[in-house]
Amino acid sequence: MATAFEKHPTGTAWVVEDRDSFRVARTTFTDQDVLERERAAIFDRCWLYIGHESELPNPNDFVRRAVGGRDLVFNRDRKGDYHAFFNSCPHRGAAVVREDKGSAISFKCFYHGWSFNNNGAFATRFAAGTYPEDFNKDGCANLVAVPRLAGYAGFWFVNFDANAESLEDYLAGAKDFLQVVADHGADGMEIVGGIQEYSVRANWKLLVENSFDGYHAHETHSTYLEYLVDAIGGPAELFPSRGNISRAYDLGNGHAVIEGPAPWGRPVAQWIPAWGEDGREEIAAIYAELEKRLGKERAEQVAYGNRNLLIFPNLVINDIMAITVRTFYPEQPDYMNVNSWALAPKGEARHFRKRRLDNFLEFLGPGGFATPDDVEALESCQRSYRNRAAAGWNDISRGMLRDEPLADDEAQMRAFWREWDRRVAKAG
Amino acid sequence: MATIERAGAPADRQGGTPTRSEIEDFLYLEAALLDEWKLDEWLALFAEGATYDVPTTRADDDADSADQLFLVADDYARLQHRVRRLKKPGAHSEWPRSRTAHSISNVRIVEAEGDEVLVRSVFVTYRAKNDVTDCYFGHHFHRIRVQADGLRILSKRSMLDMSSLRPHGRVSIIV
């Protein structure tokens, strides 16, 4: 369950916190040795998102994914069980899967032809005498599975540390918010085809901060807000009992969320005038189903609240005018790769699906009315960190004096940075 | 020196199927208007009700924005907003403005019926800002109609033929 933020002093070189100020050293965004420590202390040890269950609807389905600097295959075998393998032939190393996705009962390396069942077991027969009789007795010719693979509420994660805590313990208070997102659809949720794959010439932690930063919207996204006023025919009617909720929650283990009233239309289930009177009736029907299935309190939370959720370290689920699932990985201290997917209720009416996707792309992604300006801001920060010797600190203290931080405060970022500090700086 | 007529086609165009040479002039004009940031004039090349879209990389030519996530899927109203937005200083990604070179080649009329044609062309667009130069490449589909006052775009679809939109972080100036 979400808990209030606690103030606790720390005193490392990179993150400095006292009673009413919180500062982060700009070297955390620029130094190669910091990135090396992050790789060891975060990306080799934390649970990392690999995909959504809807991407593998049938036995034998597979997708190829870059996760934590590795090239992985996430798939289901003939029985329907889930696997994640390192995409590398145990013979000499070539990729055994080169497509983005598909269905296959076996994988075959294109270099020398070694074959594997889709449960990873080596499946080639050699002429007698080629290899010893007991070849592969120790499994050396099987595909190498990731040490840990687990799912929660349809979201699947891997962990490269065999001794890591369980996924559920790791997710802590974030479990409830993953469930809120999973509850949108009566028949479950699905990833909608089409991945936005882009890069930002900035440190990955700048996108962590930006992804749940409610403070920057009016300044950075003025042109989007102006568009919104015109395009949606006025702001949404805020539901009275939830209209004033604006909070940030520390969910434990570095996970955090900001939650607030949505001023825009939500295909589940908040109407805007642009959708017309027919749309109003359809939204009312969607809401009625939510309330019947989930109860009044949860239905209101699903329908009328905005959520920007970070699962530490780098899974962002923005449940805003659409639902975005986004991960990003550092390639260099000043360069990251971003992947972004759209999540939607299964069985959604086609015109609502279209509205949802329109909402997503008109705000988000490289062609949207907002993301390009975020990218510009992050890259501007990164360039300015060349001044770090003289101007060396970021201020993350907004709202520290408030007992209940608001969605446009920075408590959620402090939750991230405390966990980062615990894992990276204090790991020694 | 004589003034060069900027219209996409002769003002007295009487309908019928446009020739490739007329189409090429028109596409070169579109490219020039984007490079010169004459965005109102660029918008005027589109017929009212026209659409403009950019699917994600590796999408099929016939991808549908009702079924899958795109990068851009503008109806005419959003296209007008896109132009209005790009002209504001609040469009930070283009302020100060980037410099671009939109290059068009391999122009082919792939369908023709009456006064409408479907045109496939190849584009290479360079964008420079903040000491970084990005290159976008792919192919366009333009559906173009002859009107009394010249050629107009009914729909434009830009297919990005890169394997991903990396190292780029935006398509803020229309590809």
pLDDT the model gives residue B4: 46
**Min distance B170 CA to chain A CA atoms (Å):** 4
Q: Do B69 and A350 touch (CB under 8 A)?
A: no
Shortest CB distance from A366 goes to which of B66, B82, B171?
Answer: B171
**CA distances in angstroms from A6 to A72, A85, A253, listed in the order given:** 38, 40, 13
- CB-based contact B66 A372, cutoff 8 Å: no
In angstroms, rounded to a whole number, what is the distance separating the alpha carbons of residues A197 and B169? 9
| pLDDT score of A384 | 97
Tens-digit pLDDT string for chain B (175 aa): 444 445 454 555 566 889 999 999 999 999 999 999 999 999 999 999 999 999 999 999 999 999 999 999 999 999 999 999 999 999 999 999 999 999 999 999 999 999 999 999 999 999 999 999 999 999 999 999 998 889 999 999 999 999 999 999 988 777 7
pLDDT score recorded for residue A265: 87
CA-to-CA separations, A26 to A41, A47, A367, in angstroms, rounded: 19, 26, 29
Q: Which amino acid is at A37?
A: R
* Cβ-defined contacts of B59-64 (< 8 Å, 24+): B59/A194, B59/B159, B61/B141, B61/B157, B61/B159, B63/A194
For residue B130, list chain A residues with Cβ-Cβ distance below 8 A.
379, 383
Nearest-by-Cβ selection for B68 from A192, A224, A351: A192
A350/B66 CB distance under 8 A: yes
Q: How far apart are CA B22 and CA B11, in angstroms?
A: 12
Residue B72 in contact with residue B52, Cβ under 8 Å? yes
**Please, are residues B69 and A360 in contact by the beta-carbon 8 Å criterion?**
yes
Give the pTM: 0.93
Q: 10-residue block means of pLDDT along chain A (428 residues)?
A: 47 82 96 96 98 98 97 98 98 97 97 97 92 93 98 98 98 97 96 94 98 90 85 61 74 95 87 88 95 95 92 97 96 98 96 92 91 95 95 94 90 96 83
Å between A54 CA and nearest CA of chain B: 14
Nearest CA in chain A to B97: A376
Structure-block tokens of residue B15: 């309908």
Helices A222-231/A350-363 angle, 10° precision: 150
Residues A150 and A108 sit within 8 Å (Cβ to Cβ): no
Whether A378 contacts A286, CB under 8 Å: no
Strands in A305-311's sheet, in edge-to-edge order, are A189-200, A335-345, A323-332, A315-319, A305-311, A255-261, A247-252
* Cα→Cα distances B170→A338, A368, A371, B36, B92, Å: 12, 8, 8, 19, 12
